[in-house]
């Protein structure tokens, strides 16, 4: 594919392919999936989150988020997840593969654990509302070792 100097040609082309082949994707045609890596961090210096957005064309965008409030690692991870989901929602991504470090967050989103803490209930509700706007998503837990890039971003 020739880009002719246009920006985001890969993403535009991907959206076109997704729209044209909408009824075949998942049956006899595979669609590219956007990746979202998230991590939350909490410590004496404060709390923050890191997100890495990877698009099907291979481009990545890294973001470090410093929160102005104290939060547990799980709450910080939910906040980072919400920021990443909103970013992909804004560019009209349809399919997401989410890698998160928090066992609790992954299992709550996958409906394997119930959220009990009132704040976690709100974070899970907000996450599910945004996830409903995507055609498909998967979320999996990733150990710290392969997640060093986003782990470092969460602590900046």
pLDDT digits (tens, 9 = 90+) for 46-102: 788 888 888 777 777 787 878 777 788 888 889 889 988 888 888 888 888 888 888
Structure tokens at 28: 């006899």
Whether 23 is covered by a domain: the verdict is no
Whether 44 is covered by a domain: the verdict is yes
Residue 4 falls in which region: left (phi positive, over 0), alpha (psi -120 to 50) or beta: left
DSSP, collapsed to helix, strand or coil, labels residue 117 as coil
Whether 56 is covered by a domain: the verdict is yes
What's the whole-model pTM score?
Answer: 0.72
Whether 22 is covered by a domain: the verdict is no
Instruction: Quote the pLDDT of residue 4.
Output: 42
Write the CATH number for 98. 3.30.420.10
Name the residue among 107, 115, 102 with its Cα closest to residue 142. Answer: 102
Whether 15 is covered by a domain: the verdict is no
Range of the domain at 69: 31-154
pLDDT at residue 116 above 90? yes
Whether 42 is covered by a domain: the verdict is yes
Q: Could you give the number of structural domains in the chain?
A: 1
Whether 2 is covered by a domain: the verdict is no
Torsion of CA 13, 15, 18, 21, to 10 degrees: -60
Instruction: Quote the pLDDT of residue 122.
Output: 95
Instruction: Quote the pLDDT of residue 1.
Output: 41
Whether 26 is covered by a domain: the verdict is no
61 beta partners: 53
């Amino acid at each position: 594919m020739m880009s002719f100097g246009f920006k985001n040609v890969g993403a535009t082309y991907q959206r076109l392919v997704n729209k044209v082949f909408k009824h075949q994707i998942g049956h006899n045609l595979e669609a590219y999936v956007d990746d979202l890596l998230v991590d939350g961090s909490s410590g004496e210096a404060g709390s923050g989150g890191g997100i890495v957005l990877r698009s099907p064309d291979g481009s990545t965008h890294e973001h470090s988020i410093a929160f102005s409030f104290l939060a547990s690692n799980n709450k910080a991870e939910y906040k980072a997840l919400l920021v990443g989901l909103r970013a992909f929602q804004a560019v009209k991504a349809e399919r997401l593969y989410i890698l998160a470090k928090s066992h609790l967050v992954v299992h709550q989103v996958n409906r394997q654990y119930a959220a009990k803490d009132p704040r976690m209930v709100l974070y899970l509700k907000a996450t599910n509302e945004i996830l409903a706007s995507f055609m498909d998503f998967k979320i999996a837990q990733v150990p710290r070792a392969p997640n060093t890039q986003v782990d470092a971003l969460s602590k900046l």
